[in-house]
C-alpha cells in the first residue's frame, strides 16, 4: 500500500498530455484523441494519403509533427465534417495542396462542396439504352427517386436545393 502511495505521489508532478509544448511531437494515441478518430483509422489514412508521413522510430512507433496533426484534422474535417469521399479528399489535396488542408484542420479555411445542382449537372442525363430487365428496373427506380426528390424540395424549399 505504501508503494502505491509513493507511485501516485511521484506521478503528481508529471506533465499532463494537454501540457505538452505546441511544437512537441505527438504519439498516435495523443493524435487519435486530439483528432477524434481511432488509431486504426489514422493508420489507414496513412495508406491512402501519401502526404501523411509521421516520423517512425525503431519498432515502428509513430511520432506526429504539429503539421501532421493539422493535416489529419483537415482530412478528418473533409471526410466527416463536409462529407467528402477519400477520392474527393485526395482531389482537394492534389488541387489545393497540403497547406490548404492543414488550414482546414486549423479552422482557417473551408473546402467548398459544389451545390447539389452543380453535381447533378455533371451527370450525363442523356437517354440510357435499356439492354436488360435489370436496366429497365434501375431506370424505373431512378425515376422514382427523382420524383421523391422533387416532392421533398416542395416540402422544404432550400434544404435540398431548388430544381
Q: What is the pLDDT of residues 32-48, one digit of tens each?
A: 999 999 999 999 999 99
Grid coordinates given for 149: 426528390
Secondary structure class of 27 (helix, strand, coil): strand
Which residue's entry shows cell 435489370? 134
pLDDT at 3: 46
93-98 own/partner pairs: CB under 8 Å, 24+ apart: 93/49, 93/51, 98/51, 98/71
Model pLDDT for residues 53-111, shown as the tens digit of each residue: 999 988 889 999 999 999 999 999 999 888 888 998 999 999 899 999 999 998 888 77
Q: What is the pTM of this model?
A: 0.59
Any alpha helices (H) in the chain, and if so which ranges?
2-11, 28-35, 39-48, 66-76, 86-96, 98-106, 116-122, 133-155
pLDDT at 126: 55
What Å distances lie between residue 56 and 44, 140, 149, CA to CA?
A: 16, 53, 49
Q: How many residues are given for the chain? A: 163
Which residue's entry shows cell 505521489? 9
Q: How confident is the model at residue 4 (pLDDT cuts 50, 70, 90)?
A: very low
Q: Which of 95-99, 113-117, 150-154 has the lowest mean pLDDT?
A: 113-117
For the chain, which domains are there?
A: 2-106 (1.10.1660.10), 116-155 (no CATH)
In this prediction, residues 113-137 reach a mean pLDDT of: 60
Secondary structure class of 24 (helix, strand, coil): coil
d(C-alpha 148, C-alpha 163), whole Å: 12
Amino acid at each position: 500500500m505504501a508503494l502505491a502511495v509513493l507511485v501516485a505521489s511521484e506521478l503528481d508532478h508529471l506533465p499532463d498530455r494537454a501540457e505538452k509544448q505546441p511544437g512537441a511531437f505527438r504519439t498516435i494515441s495523443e493524435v487519435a484523441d486530439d483528432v477524434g478518430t481511432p488509431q486504426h483509422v489514422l493508420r489507414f489514412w496513412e495508406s491512402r494519403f501519401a502526404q501523411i508521413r509521421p516520423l517512425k522510430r525503431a519498432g515502428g512507433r509513430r511520432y506526429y509533427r504539429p503539421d501532421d496533426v493539422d493535416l489529419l484534422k483537415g482530412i478528418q474535417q473533409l471526410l466527416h465534417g463536409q462529407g467528402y469521399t477519400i477520392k474527393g479528399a485526395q482531389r482537394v489535396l492534389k488541387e489545393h495542396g497540403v497547406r490548404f488542408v492543414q488550414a482546414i484542420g486549423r479552422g482557417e479555411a473551408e473546402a467548398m462542396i459544389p451545390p447539389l445542382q452543380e453535381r447533378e449537372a455533371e451527370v450525363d442525363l442523356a437517354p440510357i439504352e435499356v439492354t436488360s430487365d435489370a436496366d429497365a428496373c434501375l431506370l424505373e427506380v431512378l425515376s422514382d427517386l427523382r420524383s421523391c426528390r422533387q416532392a421533398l424540395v416542395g416540402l422544404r424549399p432550400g434544404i435540398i436545393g431548388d430544381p
